[in-house]
Chains A and B, each alone.
Chain A
Amino acid sequence: GDSVTQMEGPVTLSEEAFLTINCTYTATGYPSLFWYVQYPGEGLQLLLKATKADDKGSNKGFEATYRKETTSFHLEKGSVQVSDSAVYFCALSDPYNTDKLIFGTGTRLQVFP
Protein backbone atom coordinates (compact mmCIF):
# COMPACT_ATOMS: atom_id res chain seq x y z
CA GLY A 1 0.00 0.00 0.00
CA ASP A 2 0.85 3.65 -0.10
CA SER A 3 3.35 4.85 2.48
CA VAL A 4 5.56 7.75 3.54
CA THR A 5 9.07 7.51 4.92
CA GLN A 6 10.76 10.45 6.56
CA MET A 7 14.07 10.85 8.29
CA GLU A 8 14.42 10.00 11.95
CA GLY A 9 14.83 12.81 14.38
CA PRO A 10 15.56 14.73 16.30
CA VAL A 11 17.25 17.19 14.02
CA THR A 12 19.21 19.68 16.07
CA LEU A 13 20.37 22.93 14.48
CA SER A 14 21.68 26.30 15.47
CA GLU A 15 19.68 29.37 14.56
CA GLU A 16 20.19 30.50 10.94
CA ALA A 17 21.37 27.05 9.83
CA PHE A 18 20.03 25.40 6.67
CA LEU A 19 17.35 22.75 7.16
CA THR A 20 16.55 19.67 5.12
CA ILE A 21 14.10 17.01 6.25
CA ASN A 22 13.93 14.13 3.81
CA CYS A 23 10.64 12.55 2.78
CA THR A 24 10.05 9.82 0.24
CA TYR A 25 6.80 8.15 -0.66
CA THR A 26 5.33 5.08 -2.29
CA ALA A 27 2.04 5.49 -4.09
CA THR A 28 0.13 3.70 -6.80
CA GLY A 29 -1.57 6.80 -8.14
CA TYR A 30 -0.80 10.50 -8.27
CA PRO A 31 -1.32 11.78 -4.75
CA SER A 32 -1.06 15.28 -3.40
CA LEU A 33 1.84 15.75 -0.99
CA PHE A 34 1.84 17.74 2.22
CA TRP A 35 3.97 18.92 5.07
CA TYR A 36 2.22 19.44 8.39
CA VAL A 37 3.77 20.99 11.48
CA GLN A 38 2.90 20.50 15.13
CA TYR A 39 4.21 23.19 17.47
CA PRO A 40 4.43 22.34 21.18
CA GLY A 41 1.00 22.11 22.77
CA GLU A 42 -0.83 22.70 19.51
CA GLY A 43 -2.57 20.70 16.81
CA LEU A 44 -1.34 19.89 13.35
CA GLN A 45 -1.18 22.77 10.92
CA LEU A 46 -0.78 22.56 7.18
CA LEU A 47 2.60 24.06 6.32
CA LEU A 48 2.62 23.57 2.54
CA LYS A 49 1.41 21.28 -0.18
CA ALA A 50 1.94 20.31 -3.81
CA THR A 51 -0.65 18.64 -5.98
CA LYS A 52 1.32 17.46 -9.01
CA ALA A 53 4.80 16.62 -10.19
CA ASP A 54 7.31 19.49 -10.24
CA ASP A 55 5.02 21.72 -8.16
CA LYS A 56 6.77 23.61 -5.40
CA GLY A 57 4.93 24.32 -2.19
CA SER A 58 6.15 27.17 -0.02
CA ASN A 59 5.16 28.93 3.17
CA LYS A 60 6.94 30.80 5.99
CA GLY A 61 10.30 30.36 4.25
CA PHE A 62 9.87 26.59 3.92
CA GLU A 63 9.84 24.93 0.51
CA ALA A 64 9.32 21.45 -0.89
CA THR A 65 9.22 20.25 -4.49
CA TYR A 66 7.16 17.30 -5.69
CA ARG A 67 9.70 15.03 -7.41
CA LYS A 68 7.98 12.18 -9.18
CA GLU A 69 11.20 10.70 -10.60
CA THR A 70 12.68 10.27 -7.12
CA THR A 71 9.32 9.96 -5.31
CA SER A 72 10.46 12.62 -2.87
CA PHE A 73 9.13 15.75 -1.20
CA HIS A 74 12.01 17.04 0.91
CA LEU A 75 11.39 20.01 3.19
CA GLU A 76 13.95 22.84 3.14
CA LYS A 77 14.46 26.18 4.79
CA GLY A 78 17.43 28.42 4.26
CA SER A 79 17.70 29.89 7.74
CA VAL A 80 15.85 28.35 10.68
CA GLN A 81 14.71 30.22 13.77
CA VAL A 82 14.15 29.04 17.32
CA SER A 83 10.42 29.44 16.69
CA ASP A 84 10.63 26.72 14.01
CA SER A 85 11.19 24.10 16.70
CA ALA A 86 8.37 21.62 16.20
CA VAL A 87 7.51 18.18 14.84
CA TYR A 88 7.18 18.02 11.05
CA PHE A 89 5.06 15.41 9.31
CA CYS A 90 5.19 14.51 5.64
CA ALA A 91 1.95 13.13 4.21
CA LEU A 92 0.27 12.04 1.02
CA SER A 93 -3.39 11.97 0.19
CA ASP A 94 -5.75 9.27 -0.89
CA PRO A 95 -6.47 9.75 -4.61
CA TYR A 96 -10.22 9.83 -3.98
CA ASN A 97 -10.21 11.98 -0.85
CA THR A 98 -7.51 14.59 -0.30
CA ASP A 99 -8.42 14.82 3.38
CA LYS A 100 -7.63 11.14 3.94
CA LEU A 101 -3.93 11.32 4.64
CA ILE A 102 -1.11 8.85 5.06
CA PHE A 103 1.53 10.32 7.33
CA GLY A 104 5.15 9.64 8.00
CA THR A 105 6.41 9.13 11.55
CA GLY A 106 7.30 12.77 12.07
CA THR A 107 10.65 14.50 12.55
CA ARG A 108 11.33 16.61 15.60
CA LEU A 109 13.32 19.78 14.88
CA GLN A 110 15.10 21.54 17.70
CA VAL A 111 16.67 24.91 16.97
CA PHE A 112 19.00 26.47 19.52
CA PRO A 113 20.00 30.14 19.67
Chain B
Amino acid sequence: EAGVTQFPSHSVIEKGQTVTLRCDPISGHDNLYWYRRVMGKEIKFLLHFVKESKQDESGMPNNRFLAERTGGTYSTLKVQPAELEDSGVYFCASSQGISPLHFGNGTRLTVT
Protein backbone atom coordinates (compact mmCIF):
# COMPACT_ATOMS: atom_id res chain seq x y z
CA GLU B 1 0.00 0.00 0.00
CA ALA B 2 1.10 3.57 -0.60
CA GLY B 3 2.37 5.32 2.50
CA VAL B 4 1.57 8.76 3.85
CA THR B 5 2.59 11.32 1.24
CA GLN B 6 3.44 14.93 1.91
CA PHE B 7 3.88 17.81 -0.52
CA PRO B 8 6.10 19.67 -0.99
CA SER B 9 9.16 18.06 0.53
CA HIS B 10 10.80 21.46 0.93
CA SER B 11 9.46 25.01 0.89
CA VAL B 12 11.34 28.26 1.26
CA ILE B 13 9.24 31.39 1.65
CA GLU B 14 9.69 34.92 2.92
CA LYS B 15 8.26 36.20 6.14
CA GLY B 16 4.71 37.39 5.59
CA GLN B 17 3.98 35.03 2.72
CA THR B 18 1.50 32.18 2.74
CA VAL B 19 2.35 28.50 2.45
CA THR B 20 0.09 25.49 2.15
CA LEU B 21 1.30 22.03 3.04
CA ARG B 22 -0.55 18.95 1.87
CA CYS B 23 -0.84 15.48 3.31
CA ASP B 24 -2.33 12.41 1.66
CA PRO B 25 -2.91 9.75 4.30
CA ILE B 26 -2.99 6.03 3.69
CA SER B 27 -6.23 5.17 1.93
CA GLY B 28 -8.94 4.23 4.40
CA HIS B 29 -7.27 5.83 7.41
CA ASP B 30 -9.78 7.93 9.31
CA ASN B 31 -7.26 9.41 11.74
CA LEU B 32 -4.93 12.09 10.46
CA TYR B 33 -2.41 13.97 12.57
CA TRP B 34 -0.11 16.92 12.08
CA TYR B 35 3.09 17.24 14.09
CA ARG B 36 5.92 19.76 13.90
CA ARG B 37 9.61 19.75 14.78
CA VAL B 38 11.03 23.22 15.19
CA MET B 39 14.76 24.02 15.22
CA GLY B 40 15.88 20.49 16.06
CA LYS B 41 13.76 20.42 19.18
CA GLU B 42 11.12 17.89 20.16
CA ILE B 43 8.38 16.90 17.76
CA LYS B 44 5.12 18.46 18.92
CA PHE B 45 1.53 17.51 18.25
CA LEU B 46 -0.50 20.09 16.34
CA LEU B 47 -3.89 18.55 15.67
CA HIS B 48 -5.94 15.44 15.01
CA PHE B 49 -8.67 14.83 12.44
CA VAL B 50 -11.15 11.99 12.52
CA LYS B 51 -12.40 11.87 8.97
CA GLU B 52 -13.22 15.51 8.18
CA SER B 53 -13.75 16.62 11.79
CA LYS B 54 -11.15 18.23 14.02
CA GLN B 55 -10.99 15.98 17.06
CA ASP B 56 -8.23 17.82 18.89
CA GLU B 57 -6.50 21.03 17.85
CA SER B 58 -4.93 21.81 21.19
CA GLY B 59 -1.44 21.94 19.72
CA MET B 60 -2.09 24.59 17.07
CA PRO B 61 0.24 27.46 17.98
CA ASN B 62 -1.92 30.40 16.92
CA ASN B 63 -4.57 31.54 14.46
CA ARG B 64 -2.05 31.93 11.63
CA PHE B 65 -2.34 28.17 11.20
CA LEU B 66 -5.39 26.68 9.50
CA ALA B 67 -5.86 22.98 8.90
CA GLU B 68 -8.55 21.43 6.76
CA ARG B 69 -9.51 17.96 5.67
CA THR B 70 -12.19 18.24 3.05
CA GLY B 71 -14.16 15.05 2.48
CA GLY B 72 -12.09 13.20 5.01
CA THR B 73 -9.34 12.42 2.53
CA TYR B 74 -6.27 14.62 2.13
CA SER B 75 -5.47 17.45 4.51
CA THR B 76 -3.90 20.85 4.09
CA LEU B 77 -2.12 23.01 6.62
CA LYS B 78 -1.93 26.67 5.72
CA VAL B 79 0.32 29.17 7.42
CA GLN B 80 -0.70 32.78 6.79
CA PRO B 81 1.25 34.96 7.26
CA ALA B 82 4.38 32.96 7.91
CA GLU B 83 6.82 34.06 10.59
CA LEU B 84 10.46 33.13 11.12
CA GLU B 85 9.62 30.89 14.08
CA ASP B 86 7.39 28.74 11.87
CA SER B 87 10.47 27.21 10.24
CA GLY B 88 10.78 23.51 10.90
CA VAL B 89 9.71 20.11 9.67
CA TYR B 90 5.99 19.41 9.51
CA PHE B 91 5.01 15.76 9.75
CA CYS B 92 1.72 14.19 8.87
CA ALA B 93 0.65 10.79 10.17
CA SER B 94 -2.37 8.56 9.76
CA SER B 95 -3.87 5.53 11.43
CA GLN B 96 -6.94 3.36 11.47
CA GLY B 97 -8.23 1.31 14.37
CA ILE B 98 -5.41 -0.36 16.26
CA SER B 99 -2.91 -0.05 13.42
CA PRO B 100 0.30 1.76 14.31
CA LEU B 101 0.72 5.39 13.39
CA HIS B 102 2.27 5.85 9.93
CA PHE B 103 4.28 9.00 9.33
CA GLY B 104 5.08 10.79 6.11
CA ASN B 105 8.56 12.01 5.23
CA GLY B 106 7.73 15.53 6.33
CA THR B 107 7.80 18.96 4.73
CA ARG B 108 10.79 21.11 5.60
CA LEU B 109 9.61 24.73 5.79
CA THR B 110 12.12 27.56 5.85
CA VAL B 111 10.89 31.10 6.45
CA THR B 112 13.46 33.78 5.64
Interface residues of A (CB under 8 A from B): 4, 36, 41-46, 89, 91, 97, 99-106
Contacts and interface: CB of A to CB of B under 8 A. Distances in A.
Contacts of A43: 3-4, 91, 103-106
Contacts of A104: 42
Closest 8 CB pairs between A and B? Answer: A44-B103, A103-B43, A43-B103, A43-B105, A105-B42, A103-B42, A99-B101, A46-B100
Interface of B: 3-4, 31, 33, 35, 37, 40-45, 48, 56, 91, 93, 95, 100-101, 103-106
A99 B43 contact: no
B16 to A, nearest CB: 29
**Secondary structure at chain B's binding surface: helix, strand, loop or mixed?**
strand
B101 A103 contact: no
Contacts of B42: 4, 102-106
A9 to B, nearest CB: 10
A89 B91 contact: no
Contacts of A46: 100-101
12 contacts: A36-B103, A42-B105, A44-B91, A44-B103, A45-B103, A89-B43, A97-B56, A100-B56, A102-B42, A103-B42, A106-B42, A106-B43
Contacts of B104: 43
B84 to A, nearest CB: 20
